[in-house]
């Protein structure tokens, strides 16, 4: 069983950044208003995610670690399963590839903790914690040295983690998100900080754009708000002059979750086709929201690719929505 868990875990946890993604998504799902991520040595020796969300009742801690156990779908919700991708995989996977400690306190209850090593959970013990959940993952891939060898330098893994954290922060402008590098021990240093924004969605997102992509970018960004055949497109797109030699400034989300999807990237390129040479990548932060039944996020456990029921509408929506905004801005 431990071996099966370890193999399946490799699908979910490819590198430290994938562990960070799963843990921060859990914190978001728990309704956290403040999420602090601490990493050491590119996340290889330590990843800690502290949230102030709803917490996990002590009695549910072992359950949270068992494969396919999720509190996020109930039996009546069969159709929605698709929209949630691979459910109940993250914590058991993390427990199979590293040393995992979850400390949590559900509202009105006592704090408790559980520790897992090599897929084997120890009994739940009492713990001290004010509120929310703290998940600590140490010595990632210690049991699978072959995987460890495939990781990049600490610097590159740190970079990948920062990218994941920024993307999730962009998707959640009402949440405070902090990334700290504690490689040297102690409190380390804060490498990214985005304080919770207020106001309506556009105002909050615009504030987030300032934090993540810079004041200049935000000041020149074009507001996007369009709809077609059940798909809603919102966000901000940059003027062609803000394009880059790579896709680093493309933030794409489907139903609130970051994706890196060929169809969406292609549509974005298509919208700017007349203004950019082929080696330039337009910058934009775009959210596509739709009924979960119109999109399959189950293509891969890491959930970065999606499949739309009606790809043509989505492409058309992005191209026309962006072209319209560009035309209004004089392009």
Is 239 in contact with 227 (CB distance < 8 Å)? no
Return the number of the residue (71 or 138) whose C-beta is nearest ligand ADP. 71
Q: Smallest distance from the beta carbon of 1 to ligand ADP, in angstroms?
A: 16
The interface partner of residue 42, options being ligand ADP, Mg ion, none and the CB cut-off 5 to 8 Å by kind, is none
Q: Which of residues 130-189 bind ligand ADP (CB under 6 A)?
A: 133
Distance of alpha carbon 4 from alpha carbon 246, whole angstroms: 38
Q: Which of 88, 173, 207, 321 binds ligand ADP (CB under 6 A)?
A: 88
Within residues 7-46, the interface with Mg ion by CB under 5 A covers: 26
Token pair, residue 133, equals 């959940």
Q: Smaller CB distance to Mg ion: residue 258 or 321?
A: 258
- If the CB atoms of residues 55 and 321 are measured against ligand ADP, the closer one turns out to be 55
101 lies in the binding site for ligand ADP (CB under 6 A): no
- Tokens 């609130």 correspond to 256
Please calculate the CA angle 178-131-17 and round it to the nearest 5 degrees: 35
Burial classification of residue 138, based on how many CB atoms lie within 10 Å of its CB (0-12 exposed, 13-18 middle, 19 or more buried):
middle
Helix, strand, or coil (residue 182): coil
Residue 70 touches ligand ADP, criterion: CB under 6 A: yes
Q: Which is nearer to ligand ADP, 107 or 278 (CB)?
A: 107
Select the residue interacting with ligand ADP from 58, 90, 111, 179 (CB under 6 A).
90
The nearer residue to ligand ADP, 253 or 272, going by C-beta atoms, is 253
| Long-range interactions of 181-190: CB distance < 8 A, separation 24+ | 181/38, 181/39, 181/40, 182/38, 182/39, 182/40, 182/46, 183/39, 183/40, 183/41, 183/154, 188/38, 188/40
Beta bridge partners of 121: 116
From CA 97, how far away is CA 136, in angstroms rounded?
A: 13
Residues between 88 and 117 that touch Mg ion (CB under 5 A): 90
Chain residue whose CB lies nearest Mg ion: 90
Binding residues for Mg ion, rule: CB under 5 A, are 26, 90
Binding residues for ligand ADP, rule: CB under 6 A, are 22, 26-27, 30, 51, 53-56, 64, 70-72, 87-91, 133
């Amino acid at each position: 069983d431990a071996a099966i868990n370890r193999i399946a875990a490799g699908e979910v946890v490819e590198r430290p950044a994938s562990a960070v993604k799963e843990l921060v998504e859990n914190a978001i799902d728990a309704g956290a208003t403040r999420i602090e991520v601490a990493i050491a040595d590119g996340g290889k020796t330590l990843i800690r995610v502290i949230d102030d969300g709803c917490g996990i009742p002590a009695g549910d801690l072992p359950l949270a670690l068992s494969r396919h156990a999720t509190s996020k779908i109930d039996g009546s919700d069969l159709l929605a399963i698709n929209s949630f991708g691979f459910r109940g995989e993250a914590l058991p996977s993390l427990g199979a590839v590293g040393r995992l400690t979850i400390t949590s306190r559900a509202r009105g209850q006592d704090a408790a903790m559980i520790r897992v090593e090599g897929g084997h959970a120890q009994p739940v013990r009492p713990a001290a914690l004010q509120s929310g959940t703290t998940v600590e993952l140490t010595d990632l891939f210690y049991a699978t040295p072959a995987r460890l060898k495939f990781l990049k330098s600490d610097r590159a893994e740190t970079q990948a983690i920062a990218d994941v954290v920024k993307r999730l922060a962009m998707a959640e402008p009402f949440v405070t998100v902090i990334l700290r590098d504690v490689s040297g021990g102690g409190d380390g240093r804060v490498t990214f900080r985005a304080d919770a924004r207020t106001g309506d969605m556009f105002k909050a997102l615009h504030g987030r754009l300032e934090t993540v992509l810079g004041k200049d970018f935000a000041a020149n960004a074009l507001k996007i708000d369009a709809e077609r055949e059940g798909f809603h497109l919102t966000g901000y797109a940059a003027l062609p002059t803000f394009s880059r030699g790579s896709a680093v400034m493309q933030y794409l989300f489907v139903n609130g979750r970051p994706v890196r999807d060929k169809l969406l990237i292609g549509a974005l390129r298509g919208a700017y086709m007349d203004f950019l040479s082929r080696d330039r990548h337009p910058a934009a932060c775009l959210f596509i929201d739709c009924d979960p039944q119109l999109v399959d996020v189950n293509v891969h456990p890491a959930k970065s690719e999606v499949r739309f029921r009606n790809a043509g509408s989505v492409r058309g929506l992005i191209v026309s929505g962006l072209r319209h905004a560009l035309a209004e801005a004089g392009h």
